[in-house]
Amino acid sequence: MFQDRLDAGRQLALRLAHLKDPKTVVLGIPRGGVVVAEPIADALQAPFSVLIVRKIGAPGNEELALGAVSVDEKPVWNEEAMRVLQPDPEWVQAKLKQKVEEVRQRKQAFGFSDMPALSGKTAIVADDGVATGASFEAALQWLKGQKPARIVAAVACAPTDTATRLKEKVDEWVCLQESPEFVAVGQFYRDFREVTDDEVKAILRHTGMPGKKSQ
């Protein structure tokens, strides 16, 4: 078990040491993933930011990602899912408006300004764990549109089947604990208390890296 998210982040940093390079950027998925990402960015001396992504779930099945909205507030769609499900256009527009508003609220809550440049970079996406992986997959879908040279997933824990699926969507997969008996991310932590918006803002202030606004 991990002591807490910082412990998981330090362990991941050791596994990612080979990626220390001026072209590496570290992205943490709020909120828990930001705590995990901080020691990774520190160890790699890499620019650090939050990757705010809101998944657009399918009607009647939120775990199926129709698409995602990130910090640029522009949707990225899962074309195959859209073609098969053919959701009502009015429903899609209402859902999109809702997710854009959620992104705006999170950007305001975290004092977010701009993402660091990702084109041609090695982008490490960190999280404290994945369960179904739908939100993480949506994040990867958006990230690919930013044209990084490589995408590296760095997660503390995952179910075996989710890990198998996500491995196919990244250039490098780093996961500390994969289990076929996965129940929840919290089962791998002694301390898995909720992370607050204020803690995320404090981490961004501490890093002093692109992607945060001076407080």
Q: What is the CATH number of the domain that holds 155?
A: 3.40.50.2020
> Is the same domain home to 75 and 158?
no
Last residue of a domain, one of 89, 110, 131: 110
- Please count the structural domains in the chain: 2
Of the listed ranges 72-76, 144-148, 186-190, 198-202, the least confidently predicted one is 72-76
d(CA 21, CA 46) in angstroms, rounded, equals 8
- Residue 17 pLDDT > 60: yes
pLDDT at position 163, please?
Answer: 96
- Residue 213 pLDDT > 70: no
State the alpha helices, DSSP H only, in 16-70: 32-44
- What are 63-113's pLDDT values in tens digits? 788 888 888 888 888 888 899 999 999 999 999 999 999 999 988 888 777
Q: Report the interhelical angle of 32-44 vs 5-15 (nearest 10°).
A: 40
- What are 127-170's pLDDT values in tens digits? 999 988 878 888 898 899 899 999 999 999 999 999 999 999 99
pLDDT at position 62, please?
Answer: 81
> Is the same domain home to 184 and 165?
yes
pLDDT at position 181, please?
Answer: 92
d(CA 130, CA 137) in angstroms, rounded, equals 10
Last residue of a domain, one of 66, 91, 110: 110
Q: What is the mean pLDDT of the chain?
A: 90
pLDDT band for position 208 (cuts 50, 70, 90): low
- Residue 215 pLDDT > 50: no
> Is the same domain home to 35 and 11?
yes
- Residue 212 pLDDT > 50: no
- The one-letter code for the residue type at 62 is E
Domain residues for the domain of 73 are 54-110
Tokens 């129709």 belong to residue: 66
> Is the same domain home to 32 and 65?
no
